[in-house]
Structure 1
């Protein structure tokens, strides 16, 4: 028997009362300033760190940062890397920062890079999927988005006036998906919760409208040198979706309002690592995210004239 979520009445969507109850129990558990912002101050020379917005939640203000690579050139192919759409997915943030610190300079000669390492800083500090308004940024990368985390990122990208050739969005699937976040979602919406089988290992979610299977495989091949790729469950699925090949599923990302769905990029993928695996460490998860970006960029460079 499933234990009811501690907030709300089963079968009834939350009102402002329940949302306020949820917000009241959230606590700051780590520092965005120390773990993200201060890391940006230490990037190699030449990277341009831009503040593209600010979130004001209660007594806390969070500047939002994006990074542009050195040697930016108009007309050059641009690659977007995003992390921290869901703040609790730590390696997405730390992987993006690690890529910037250690590997991004290797690609400045042929590509423009845009990197937003932590799109949801309040959720990073409170280790949450939602923002304080009980909304999921990764369902709201849509026109006129009501979620500032999503809307500000899209506006910053648009301001660059460049076509995005590729977008790599760094995520995790964790045990807390089933323990907390999916039950909370069901409670919020007044629906029945159905947990999914959490894959043990790394996998990708591609865009069903722009599949580019060779690109996806290049990312998987790069990551496989760092950590293991997830196998499908007994139904041939990952998180309830039939696999296209080992370690890969596709979603209609624009329809779902997912981060990789908002641009017209030809190459796009969402990474998913599993930090709770007994076969992986937090550092391996960070390295897997870096390897995913490297695999994507190396593939793209081979496609350029």
Structure 2
């Protein structure tokens, strides 16, 4: 039995500039941190193929699996049957915390161990996950989630036109105040981010200009936090980015999300955003510590998720 955990992440700025359609023409740039919420994956022996996730599949062979991602990865490692895969997430899926790519990273890492292959470096692990999702399966997704899960910690990622990704870790002594000021709340809505992203893809001219601005805001955010900067300024950068993002696609927000966002601002939040592609999931706010009670009161209709920033990427917990 092999057990692996892979962290979820919150993306502060720059999302969508990590997509090939953008960074192949000009540099993409994101800032994110992993949090103490995980994908828990266990590999075991089983009759046929047993995949236990939100729902279960029990089939005779890998070729019969309906889950395209798991089917493809298992096949790429030459596995046909006699395997059980149990997957548990600490949060609901489809909520903007990068769970899909975190699962990809976890499964690759666990299979490397199962096949007695050398452990991949974080960069090689992330690239393998990206290659599978984007190039082999044609997913409309970017690269930051795979890199976040593989590396762990708070990082700025630069996505170059060559396909290279530069990782710039942000020191923990610069992140502690941001960690204490960051609050996230579940809207109660999970969503299919691919539908939202497809609308954005079709409006590429409009979104490309907005994405340039969001990339530049991500660089400002990075500069601010990397110099132990001002929380209010970081919150205002998030707010500006959120307003840009909403302008790209009407599916990103709705009246319920907007009402919650405005209540948080009225309660003293410096700024915030909806995590992930939009349409639901988790709202993130940067809030002064002395007013955090106000935020809890203003958003009693939402479910807070206590989080801590973490420093480790995907890792094997046990098993040979």
What's the TM-score once normalised by structure 1's chain length?
A: 0.29
More helix by share: 2
More strand by share: 2
